């Protein structure tokens, strides 16, 4: 589950909840520590479990960010790997004030498709921006997922006119 988070109306980060592996992982293109947001998602889980009368053991969950004590600093983690691994050192951090949203979108996109996140680099932001714009303009966002085990589908975006809100179908 992906949680894009806006910090102070100035910066976007991504928190990924991996329920199967009981991990909450923080991704920040500036390489900042995200304990506050990791703890917030854990609290959300606690509250939801309590409301539904489910047992929830906080000690079973691991929270990670680039600067977690149990991992090398500035290392991103493989969302699908149960253990923190030093897949690569993320040296290409964001150096401007405008790309954080694109980083978040691409982190989520790459992670959901099990692609190497090391490919999400600042020098590729212009290409990623064009890809995002093209998908929005063609009113369809290709997204493959199993539908009855054999076919794939897309998410369609329908707009009644150019100046109105659009709906995702």
pTM: 0.69
Cβ atoms within 10 Å of 108's Cβ, excluding its own: 18
pLDDT band at 143 (very low <50, low <70, confident <90, very high): low
Specify the pLDDT at position 55. Answer: 92
Find all residues with CB under 8 Å of 47, minimum gap 6, and list them. none
Rounded distance, CA 116 to CA 149, Å? 25
Quote the pLDDT of residue 93: 80
11 labelled catalytic: yes
Marked catalytic residue, from 11, 21, 71, 84: 11
Catalytic site residue from 21, 28, 47, 113: 28
Query: In this predicted model, what pLDDT tens digit does every residue of 85-125 receive, in sequence order?
Result: 333 345 568 888 899 999 999 999 888 888 888 788 899 99
CATH code linked to domain 2-123: 3.40.395.10
Query: What pLDDT sits at residue 116?
Result: 81
Catalytic residue among 21, 100, 113, 159: 100
- Residue 159: pLDDT band with limits 50, 70, 90: low
Strands 2-7 and 166-168: unpaired
* Residue 100 designated active-site: yes
Q: Which of 76, 77, 81 is nearest to 93 (CA)?
A: 76
pLDDT bracket for residue 132 (50, 70, 90) = confident
Q: Which is more confident, 163 or 12?
A: 12
């Amino acid at each position: 589950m992906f949680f894009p988070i806006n910090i102070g109306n100035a910066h976007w980060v991504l928190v990924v909840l991996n329920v199967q592996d009981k991990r909450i992982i923080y991704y920040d293109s500036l390489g900042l520590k995200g304990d506050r947001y990791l703890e917030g998602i854990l609290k959300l889980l606690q509250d939801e479990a309590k409301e539904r009368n489910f047992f929830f053991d906080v000690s079973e969950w691991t929270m990670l960010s680039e600067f977690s004590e149990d991992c090398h600093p500035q290392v991103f983690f493989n969302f699908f790997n149960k253990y923190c691994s030093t897949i690569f050192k993320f040296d290409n951090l964001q150096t401007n004030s405008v790309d954080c949203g694109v980083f978040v979108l691409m982190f989520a996109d790459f992670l959901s498709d099990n692609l190497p996140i090391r490919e999400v680099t600042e020098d590729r932001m212009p290409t990623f921006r064009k890809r995002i714009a093209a998908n929005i303009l063609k009113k369809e966002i290709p997204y493959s997922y199993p539908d009855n085990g054999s076919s794939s589908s897309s998410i369609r975006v329908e707009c009644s006119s150019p100046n109105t809100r659009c709906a995702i179908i």
